[in-house]
């Protein structure tokens, strides 16, 4: 998408919320992607099917959106690969340290009025803002 479109953002947010509610109401599980993924990789007996379906729905949902609307995000081709690798490692470390990710804490935890999730989400946002400032103004990476 070339620019911010409030209706698509609202629709996407509503669908994420709906998925989280359906998962919690349907099988009593939190829709935290990092937790779902790490548990799926451990192959828990009798508990892997819904996890694989949930994770498989992420790219399928993106493909359906592209098919329906013909618009997809444009990847940054000039972003330094080293920074991408470091970012991926830091995100993995952060989700481990914070016992979850933005979907688990930011969407599901805050909706359940979890003080721990509120603090985690504030930390995520603060670190994200600081990181964006550093990458842009210290490393000079833009756009």
Same domain, 43 and 17: yes
Residue 126: the pLDDT is 94
Q: Which of 17, 40, 69 represents a domain boundary (last residue)?
A: 69
How many residues are present in the chain? 143
Residue 1: the pLDDT is 43
Task: Give CA angle at 15 (103, 45), nearest 5°.
Answer: 55
Residue 118: the pLDDT is 94
Same domain, 53 and 102: no
Residue 142 lies in a domain: no
Same domain, 22 and 53: yes
Same domain, 54 and 109: no
* Stretches in the chain below the pLDDT threshold 50: 1
103 burial type by CB count under 10 A (0-12 exposed, 13-18 middle, 19+ buried): buried
Residue 143: the pLDDT is 63
Q: Which of 69, 90, 108 represents a domain boundary (last residue)?
A: 69
Residue 93: the pLDDT is 86
Residue 25: the pLDDT is 93
Based on the structure, what is the number of domains in the chain?
2
Classified as helix, coil or strand, 130 is: helix
Task: Give CA angle at 77 (71, 79), nearest 5°.
Answer: 125
Same domain, 18 and 50: yes
Same domain, 89 and 46: no
Per-residue tokens: 31:
């829709």
Q: Which of 69, 94, 116 represents a domain boundary (last residue)?
A: 69
Residue 89 lies in a domain: yes
Residue 3: the pLDDT is 67
Residue 111: the pLDDT is 87
Residue 97: the pLDDT is 84
Which structural domain, as residue segments, surrounds residue 37?
6-69
Same domain, 62 and 85: no
Angle between helices 49-69 and 33-41 (to 10 degrees): 130
Instruction: Decide: 31 and 112 in contact? Cβ < 8 Å.
Output: no
């Amino acid at each position: 998408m070339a620019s911010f479109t409030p209706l698509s953002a609202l629709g996407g947010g509503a669908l994420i919320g709906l998925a989280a509610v359906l998962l919690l109401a349907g099988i009593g599980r939190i829709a935290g992607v990092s937790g779902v993924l790490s548990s799926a990789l451990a192959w828990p007996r009798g508990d892997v099917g819904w996890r694989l379906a949930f994770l498989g729905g992420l790219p399928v949902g993106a493909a359906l959106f592209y098919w329906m609307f013909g618009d997809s995000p444009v990847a940054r081709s000039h972003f330094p690969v080293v920074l991408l690798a470091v970012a991926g490692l830091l995100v993995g470390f952060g989700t481990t340290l914070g016992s979850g990710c933005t979907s688990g804490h930011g969407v599901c935890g805050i909706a359940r009025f979890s003080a721990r999730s509120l603090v985690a989400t504030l930390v995520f946002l603060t670190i994200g803002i600081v990181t964006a400032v550093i990458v842009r103004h210290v490393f000079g990476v833009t756009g």
